[in-house]
Structure 1
Amino acid sequence: MKRRLRNFIIILLVIVLFNCSALNSNAAFNDLKKSGCSFNFTKGSWITVYSQVPGKKGLSKFYAKITKFRMSEYPSSSGTSSSSSQSTDSTMTVIMTIQVQNPKKPSKKMAKKLINSGHDFIDYLDVVVVDKSTGENLNTAETSEEGTNYHAVNVTETEWKGLKPQKMSWSDGTVYQYYVSYVKTIVIKFPSNYTKTCVGICGTHVGDYEKMTDWNEGFIEGYTVLSDTTHVKLGSKKKTSQLSHFINIKKPKQAQSTSGNNSNNTTPYRWGFNR
């Protein structure tokens, strides 16, 4: 009887330990900070972001900056009582422009690799919008049970626009035309009570374009999370901190005590993001 009881206790302990370890392993990559992502992407300051680009062993360095940022709320919570503001759903709208710059002239080896691949350095950098806790892609449509954005966040963005065109030539007549810098504008709408919207500029640890896009396809379609992409290097928080840089945007706390009315019932905020 004692042996049977002891065996039962051992089996029970094994089950408990297995469940705990599974939970910890899963939870380790649910939060962006636990994955090693950096939260240093702020308005007006250049940050360094790294990515794997063909033609170079190791990561290449680029600079990124939020050049323009505007946040507004509709309907405005200004001049409303606390009870009425709590019963009214409002939407925050953030418009930001992001600029990415290559600080160095590409080597001829890298240039030839990019020519052969048909891509530029910007194709190895992504702007992503995710949930801070889960890493869920918020830039997906609410259309199905799978791959769905459950947080009522809407994202629209422009294509990258190249700035400062340059060219490189070879004696055989080959010419490589490229841009030093790129910009894009992104518009994000989210409920005012949702505080986990994060925007990131992310590089990749995979330099093969086809392999990279295949790897990230599930995330793009909303079926997997950030930790399943090439923007996160599992087992290396240091490398992930070089690849992925985020900003957490949410309604400012001080907006709760704002008074006065706005003619179009929209409240603008100059700042409204947090690290």
Structure 2
Amino acid sequence: MGGAMLSGWLAQGLDASRAAVIEPYPSEDIRAHLAKGVRLNPSPQDCGSVAAFVVALKPQAFSEAAPALKPYVGAATLVVSIMAGTTMASLAEVFGGHVVRAMPNTPAAIGRGITVAVAAKDVSDAQRETADGLLRATGLVEWVSDEGLIDAVTAVSGSGPAYVFLLAEELARAGVAAGLPEALATKLARETVSGAGELLHRSDLDAATLRQNVTSPAGTTAAALEVLMGKDGLQSLLTRAVAAATKRSKELAK
């Protein structure tokens, strides 16, 4: 995710020489940016005064990495975290103040992500504007005032792309079970899910209306939706899934 954000910043015109990546095991995508002038693993002294420091780690790795990262953050540095579960209090304990906690999702890699962010009380208006600009490089940004909402945000939009990919997987499997060749079923499922998503993105209509527009009374879609919208159908499954992901996000904060 950090690499996707860096790509977005550079595409929007960020001077590569002003960006540095702290990563002991850089990916090929990160290395590709070095030729543009991005610095890899400079010392805190070489970085000088850091305006914004983006923490893009797996939350389980934060406690081990924190001591090495702390020297890069000065008294006026804005810290933007995109780690699931890690609270602003935990971040402030390591880095001091000026913390923004954000939850993006993987469509950020193509500029179609959505991020929800919350700022600590000591974050200035100018710093919040900086954070908004950094996060908006990969898609839409929504701000909330209650950090407690971030766990549910993580469960809905942070983890949500995986649910959509699973839908494509299972729709393809269902097609094979109905008699379609596997390659055709896979292509139909993939294009249907991505195409429907794009239609939802472009349309002014809400999801319920778009669904109803596809559904003829007593037709094939209605027969399928009777199963999907039944007592133990999709709504029940997603409610349980989002609750499980929310619970796990809270556990990661402990």
More strand by share: 1
- TM-score class, shorter-chain normalisation, is under 0.3
TM-score (norm 1): 0.22
More helix by share: 2
